[in-house]
């Protein structure tokens, strides 16, 4: 019997920053539910944090029948509590990046390192057959990749995954949230125990630039002469020759593969 788990976190509304479900974790939950339904398995939905968080009700509405909460105080390291809870889980699903706290996207990697199981990131779709996962992975520039992984594994779900989630009010009312008994003590400030100081996001970040020591004469010269930035201009030749120039350029810069 395989064990399937989905980790959910508290998200933030992009404008009001009000607590709500995290969209990315909602996708992971939807994917987990579809696998659980197809394989006739139970999906364990886990949250490390506050039992009273209103965001958990959203996950109930999205289809999680029973959410287990690991009671962790706000300043505690959730990693240790999760590792002990997920020790025998075969497939762990979660979003790529959280919307609260450090949101560094490190949690799945740290979990994989602690549990010593493989991790595949940016999944768009998952298919589970006889303990073997087939994953469609997102790559930029319109590329997708198929990967096969043997369980156990951690899979992070990409925000662009096309999974339909239904928000059902009746499930929000009927679902249950249970809190696990053992409360975890604070073991560290944050996941990577780094000392952050917080500032309101009101200023533009300063770009790192190289300091340039240029003489005033050189600056004046660069100001009075207009530097032509344009590339090669082909005026002459027949249309076939011109087309050949374009093709050569594309080939030289490896923009086409023929």
Near other proteins in 208-227, by CB under 8 A: 208-214, 218, 221-222, 224-227
Q: Sign of dihedral through CA atoms 246, 252, 253, 254?
A: positive
Interactions with other proteins, residue window 228-247 (CB under 8 A):
228-235, 238-240, 242-247
- Tokens standing for 39? 């394989």
78-85 and 107-115 helices, crossing angle to 10°? 50
Interactions with other proteins, residue window 120-149 (CB under 8 A):
120-122, 134, 136-149
End-to-end CA distance of the chain: 50
Q: 108, 119 in Cβ contact below 8 A?
A: yes
Considering beta carbons, is residue 101 or 171 the nearer one to other proteins? 101
**Is residue 112 at the binding interface for other proteins, with CB under 8 A as the rule?**
yes
Considering beta carbons, is residue 127 or 174 the nearer one to other proteins? 127
Q: Are strands 132-139 and 143-150 parallel, antiparallel or unpaired?
A: antiparallel
Within 10 Å of residue 212's Cβ, how many Cβ atoms?
7
**Is residue 88 at the binding interface for other proteins, with CB under 8 A as the rule?**
no
Considering beta carbons, is residue 186 or 247 the nearer one to other proteins? 247
Interactions with other proteins, residue window 6-35 (CB under 8 A):
11-12, 14, 17
Calculate the alpha carbon distances from 250 to 44, 57, 89 in Å: 52, 54, 50
CB of 142 to other proteins, least distance (A): 4
CB of 117 to other proteins, least distance (A): 8
Residues 11-15: contacts with CB under 8 Å, at least 24 apart: 11/55, 11/98, 11/99, 11/100, 12/99, 12/100
CB of 216 to other proteins, least distance (A): 14
Considering beta carbons, is residue 166 or 244 the nearer one to other proteins? 244
Query: Total residues contacting other proteins (rule CB under 8 A)?
Result: 89
**197/50 Cα distance (integer angstroms):** 23
Among 50, 104, 179, 187, binds other proteins (CB under 8 A): 104
Among 41, 51, 119, 168, binds other proteins (CB under 8 A): 119
Interactions with other proteins, residue window 40-59 (CB under 8 A):
none
Interactions with other proteins, residue window 185-204 (CB under 8 A):
192, 194-201, 203
């Amino acid at each position: 019997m395989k064990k399937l788990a989905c980790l959910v976190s508290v998200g933030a509304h992009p404008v009001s920053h009000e607590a709500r479900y995290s969209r990315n974790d909602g996708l992971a939950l939807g994917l987990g539910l579809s696998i659980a339904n197809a394989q006739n398995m139970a999906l364990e939905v886990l949250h490390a944090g506050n039992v009273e968080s209103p965001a958990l009700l959203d996950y109930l509405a999205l289809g999680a029948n029973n959410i287990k909460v690991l009671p962790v105080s706000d300043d505690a390291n959730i990693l240790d509590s999760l590792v002990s809870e997920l020790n025998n889980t075969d497939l762990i699903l979660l979003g790529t990046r959280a919307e609260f706290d450090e949101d560094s996207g490190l949690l799945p990697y740290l979990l994989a390192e602690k549990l010593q199981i493989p991790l595949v990131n940016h999944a768009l779709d998952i298919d589970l057959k006889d303990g073997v996962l087939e994953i469609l992975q997102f790559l930029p520039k319109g590329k997708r990749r198929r990967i096969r992984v043997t369980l156990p594994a951690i899979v992070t779900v990409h925000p662009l995954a096309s999974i339909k989630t239904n928000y059902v009010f009746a499930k929000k009312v009927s679902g249950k949230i249970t809190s696990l008994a053992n409360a975890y003590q604070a073991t560290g400030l944050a996941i990577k125990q780094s000392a952050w100081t917080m500032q309101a996001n009101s200023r533009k970040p300063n770009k790192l630039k190289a300091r340039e020591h240029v003489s005033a004469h050189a600056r004046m010269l660069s100001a009075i002469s207009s530097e032509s930035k344009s590339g090669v201009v082909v005026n002459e030749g027949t249309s076939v020759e011109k087309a050949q120039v374009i093709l050569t350029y594309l080939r030289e810069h490896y923009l086409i593969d023929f």
